[in-house]
Amino acid sequence: MKGDELRIQRRVFLNPLELLVKNWPTPLLLLNSLSKNGYRVWAKLEFYNPFSHSVKDRPVWNMLRKALEEGRLSDKLYEASSGNVAIALSAMAAIHGLKFRAYLPAPTPDTTKTLIRVLGAEYVSTDYPTIGPEMIEYVANLAKEEGATNLNQFHNDANYESHYEYTGREIVEQLEAVGEKPHVFVAGIGTSGHIAAITRRLRERFGDDVKVVGVQPAPGNSIPGIKRLETQPKWINWIRVDEVVDVSREEAIDEAINVARTEGLLVGLSSGAVVRGFKKIREKYGPGTYVLVFPDDGFKYVEAFANRLRG
């Protein structure tokens, strides 16, 4: 075995970006509490990514890499984000010596704001209730006026590409390693990058009969990391989604707590939403192999958990 291969096998990394990329694949875990009576439920644990502890490390890394390669990266970055992209971009801006300013929707937790500042970036709290076309356009125009780079996670195909080339391929290879074919894929709808790209990978390898269920916040609810279809996510139209399920914020929190108490995993609200989405459709689609994406961990949402437990 060559020196670098042995070093990576022994989990020795020479820089933070190597820690990200050479740490892949993130784990695929069988959820024993849900895998009964013919159901096999697997969770892709994206909180193993090191910077934001979320799936968003992947698109941020790829968008920055592409911008660097194409020579269109200025020394300052502006980005609209509800949380994890802002944290990931704060971290990678620090690594590259860039200045970063996050534009946050109104419901963003104080924990996210604190982490952005710890990483040396700044944020602007806006009055937008969620990130939709109007807020995306506002940040893009402001960046153009002030000579900043706006990577624009919502329209940048490097977002989608990161999940097709890496996340989706990993899931295919991991399922093949245990000899399983996915029956249903369940994921949250945010930018729609990961749900669309992973769907394409799964159907290319296992056939078009793989069912896809998207999860969105119920009307009037806010769940960090996922958004309603009305926000017009770009890549969702590239695939066939068999069903979209509404999940309330309270349901998402309750399921994150359930995962903690049955699997011992501290997962975030979007992960809880995906579990509740699975529970709402499992009888309809019946036994088989289900793949769920857990986008992040629960440590950013301690206040939400505390409020729910008090209630």
**Residues 230 and 273 occupy one common structural domain:** yes
User: Is residue 53 within 8 Å of residue 296, measured between CB atoms?
Assistant: yes
**Residues 171 and 253 occupy one common structural domain:** yes
Residue of 239, 305, 237 whose CA lies nearest to 271: 305
Helix (H) / strand (E) element for 110: namely helix 110-118
**Residues 70 and 40 occupy one common structural domain:** no
- Please say which residue of 145, 175, 197 terminates a domain: 145
User: Is residue 254 within 8 Å of residue 148, measured between CB atoms?
Assistant: no
Name the pLDDT band for 300 (thresholds 50, 70, 90): very high
Beta-strand pair 28-30/39-45 = antiparallel
In a domain, 89, yes or no: yes
In a domain, 311, yes or no: no
**Residues 65 and 198 occupy one common structural domain:** no
Amino acid at 185: F
The gap between the terminal CA atoms of the chain, to the nearest Å, is 56
In a domain, 155, yes or no: no
**Residues 12 and 96 occupy one common structural domain:** no
| pLDDT one-digit tens code per residue, 229-240 | 999 999 999 999
**Residues 85 and 234 occupy one common structural domain:** no
For the entire predicted model, the pTM comes to 0.96
Beta bridge partners of 214: 187, 244
In a domain, 176, yes or no: yes
| pLDDT one-digit tens code per residue, 133-172 | 999 999 999 999 999 999 999 999 999 999 999 999 999 9
**Residues 71 and 133 occupy one common structural domain:** yes
CA distances from 230 to 35, 82, 249, 270 (A): 33, 16, 18, 18
CA distances from 36 to 1, 32, 39, 287 (A): 41, 8, 5, 9
**Residues 37 and 105 occupy one common structural domain:** no
CA distances from 292 to 152, 198, 262 (A): 26, 11, 16
In a domain, 243, yes or no: yes
Q: What is the CATH number of the domain that holds 181?
A: 3.40.50.1100
**Residues 283 and 206 occupy one common structural domain:** yes
- Please say which residue of 114, 145, 176 terminates a domain: 145
**Residues 7 and 26 occupy one common structural domain:** yes
What's the whole-number mean pLDDT along residues 175-203? 98
**Residues 93 and 224 occupy one common structural domain:** no
> 1-10, 98-107, 151-160 — which is least confidently predicted?
1-10
Residue 291, class by beta-carbon neighbours within 10 Å (0-12 exposed, 13-18 middle, 19+ buried)?
buried
Please tell me the predicted confidence (pLDDT) of residue 153.
97
Please tell me the predicted confidence (pLDDT) of residue 120.
98
**Residues 44 and 137 occupy one common structural domain:** no
Q: Coil, strand, or helix at residue 22? A: coil
In a domain, 154, yes or no: no
In a domain, 160, yes or no: no
For residue 115, the enclosing domain spans: 57-145
Please tell me the predicted confidence (pLDDT) of residue 107.
87
Split into its structural domains, the chain has a count of 2
What's the whole-number mean pLDDT along residues 114-133? 95
In a domain, 156, yes or no: no
